């Protein structure tokens, strides 16, 4: 689901915290020689690990390989392997992911090593893509974006604050892509059978405002009102399809309320595009917002151009 975007944005300084995952083994035997395991841990003062130039070196703690510690590690390893197998309850999902990654490295990365070395220094994407969090809609897959070609964000309810929050991750990404990376195109993509739009269309106006889902989808309320106004005779499913596209239009129009987007668009340094992916028929509808058109007021309509249907 693609939602309308808030009119203002503030520059945010974000801090990333690295969290070290830990693994435990619940079914291992505790032995009387646990004290030996503790005593065998030695700090080797002369050994250091080189991380980054700006990171202070720290001593490395080495664990001597006693028979008890090796047996304990072996038991934990078996326990973890069994837990992963049970959790998957079927094929090795990460094994498949590993094979896809190695295939990418062999057939893409190594064959285009010069390109990836250039990307390691800087990025200059042609597109900023705003797409739905739906697992069935991956812009890289359906549109064939190559590494470094598109700066993408996905609307995820529990990770991205609602667009009404000025200090949202989405607003920060927009500011960075437009002002710093100077992308030439913003593409907002919606899709068929959108669960978010269906939830919005079924939602009562006095729904539970404390619900995270309600707070997420209510951002597209204008699209729902326009759909009800222009397509009251359509079935519920048809209204949902209409609202899916209307929500894209609302986002495109609201993008123009960002002063720095509007300014670059008027100077023809930036274009705003809409896209609608029908994954049942495998078609993609694309259009461009007419920057010279009159901005709709109330129930008015926006103007578009260069509308195409692929597939």
110 vs 105, 107, 146, 237, CA distance in Å?
6, 7, 15, 47
CA angle 154, 160, 166 (to 5 degrees): 115
Encoding tokens for residue 116? 């990836």
Q: Distance between CA atoms of 308 and 101, rounded to whole angstroms?
A: 34
Contacts 24+ apart (CB under 8 A), 113-117: 115/147, 115/148, 116/147
The count of other CB atoms within 10 Å of the CB of residue 214 is 15
Q: Distance between CA atoms of 66 and 287, rounded to whole angstroms?
A: 67
Binding site: residue ranges? 132, 134, 191, 194
Would you give the distance in Å from CA 245 to the centre of its chain? 20
Q: Distance between CA atoms of 84 and 23, rounded to whole angstroms?
A: 11
Per DSSP bridges, beta strands 271-278 and 283-289 are antiparallel
Q: Are 227 and 242 a contacting pair, CB within 8 Å?
A: yes
Q: Distance between CA atoms of 159 and 267, rounded to whole angstroms?
A: 34
Q: Distance between CA atoms of 67 and 72, rounded to whole angstroms?
A: 9
Shortest CA distance to 3 belongs to which of 139, 158, 197? Answer: 197
> What DSSP element (H or E) covers 179?
none
Burial class (CB in 10 A: 0-12, 13-18, 19+), 296: middle
Binding site for Zn(2+): residue ranges? 132, 134, 191, 194
């Amino acid at each position: 689901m693609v939602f309308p975007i808030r009119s203002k944005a503030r520059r945010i300084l974000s801090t990333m915290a690295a969290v070290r995952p830990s693994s435990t083994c619940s079914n291992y035997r505790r032995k009387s020689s646990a004290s030996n395991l503790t005593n065998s841990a030695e700090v080797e003062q002369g050994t250091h690990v080189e991380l980054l130039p700006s990171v202070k070196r720290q001593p490395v703690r080495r664990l001597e390989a006693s028979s008890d510690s090796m047996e304990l590690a072996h038991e934990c390893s078996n326990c973890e392997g069994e837990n992963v197998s049970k959790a998957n309850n079927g094929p090795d999902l990460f094994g498949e992911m590993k094979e896809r990654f190695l295939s990418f490295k062999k057939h893409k990365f190594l064959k285009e090593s010069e390109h990836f070395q250039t990307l390691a220094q800087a990025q200059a994407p042609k597109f900023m893509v705003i797409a739905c969090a739906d697992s069935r809609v991956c812009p890289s897959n359906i549109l064939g974006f190559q590494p470094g070609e598109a700066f993408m964000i996905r609307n995820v309810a529990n990770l991205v604050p609602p667009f009404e929050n000025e200090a949202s991750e989405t607003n920060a990404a927009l500011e960075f892509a437009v002002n710093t990376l100077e992308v030439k195109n913003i593409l907002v993509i919606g899709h068929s059978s959108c669960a978010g739009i269906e939830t919005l269309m079924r939602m009562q106006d006095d729904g539970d405002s404390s619900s995270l889902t309600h707070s997420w989808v209510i951002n597209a309320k204008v699209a729902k009102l326009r759909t009800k106004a222009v397509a009251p005779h359509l079935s519920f499913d048809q209204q949902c399809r209409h609202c899916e596209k209307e929500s894209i239009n609302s986002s495109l129009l609201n993008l123009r309320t960002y002063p720095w987007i509007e300014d670059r668009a008027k100077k023809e340094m930036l274009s705003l595009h809409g896209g609608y992916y029908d994954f049942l028929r495998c078609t993609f509808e694309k259009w461009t917002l007419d920057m010279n058109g009159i901005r709709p007021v109330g129930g008015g309509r926006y103007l578009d151009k260069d509308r195409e249907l692929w597939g």
